[in-house]
Amino acid sequence: MPQRYYQLPLRLDQVIRKQPLAVCNMKDSIAQNLHLIIGTYRGESAYSPDFGCSVWDEEFNITLNPRWKENLYESLRKAIGLFEKRLSVTDIKAYLEEKSERTAKDRLIVRKSLRIDITGVIRKTNEQFNFRDQMYISPVAQQ
């Protein structure tokens, strides 16, 4: 029988009502954990201050720091090595894009989007694993 993992977000209201929590498979569990690592700045978790990555340290300096990608890759490799031991990372790529859209009042909004691709191998099954996450960073620019 395959091992089951809890699906995020945890529904604590279900725990209180003694209802079962939603579960997911190992691939989805790894993806959820990678999303948490990327979305958490280091020091945010009181119980594990090293949890997270440098994306939030670099957020406002990305255009000024030519080494931001290398810093991010190093930070992610370290965090994944510490907090997602089920995955052996083979490659990490990051892409910075500008996305523009018009509001209902016809104002132009330009936002920076960071896409992160992580590839690796699941240690337990030797199965290929691909993950992609995208988030908006830095302040919104408006015209």
| Residue 30: pLDDT over 80 | yes
The domain that holds 44 is classified in CATH as 3.10.450.40
| Residue 1: pLDDT over 70 | no
Nearest to 114 by CA among 49, 51, 35: 35
Determine the average pLDDT of the residues in 23-32: 95
Q: How far is CA 50 from the centre of its chain?
A: 15
> How high does pLDDT run on average in the chain?
87
Q: Each residue of 82-132: pLDDT tens digit?
A: 999 999 999 999 998 888 888 888 888 888 888 999 999 999 999 999 999
CB atoms within 10 A of CB 53: 26
3-state secondary structure of 59: coil
| Residue 32: pLDDT over 70 | yes
Q: Which residue has the tokens 């300096």?
A: 61
Structural domain range at position 97: 5-142
Percent over 70 (pLDDT), the chain:
90
Determine the average pLDDT of the residues in 9-13: 87
Please write down the HEC assignment for all residues of 67-118.
CHHHHHHHHHHHHHHHHCCCEEEEEEEEEEEEEEEECCCCCEEEEEEEEEEE
β-sheet bridge partners, residue 121: 88, 128
Q: How many domains does the chain have?
A: 1
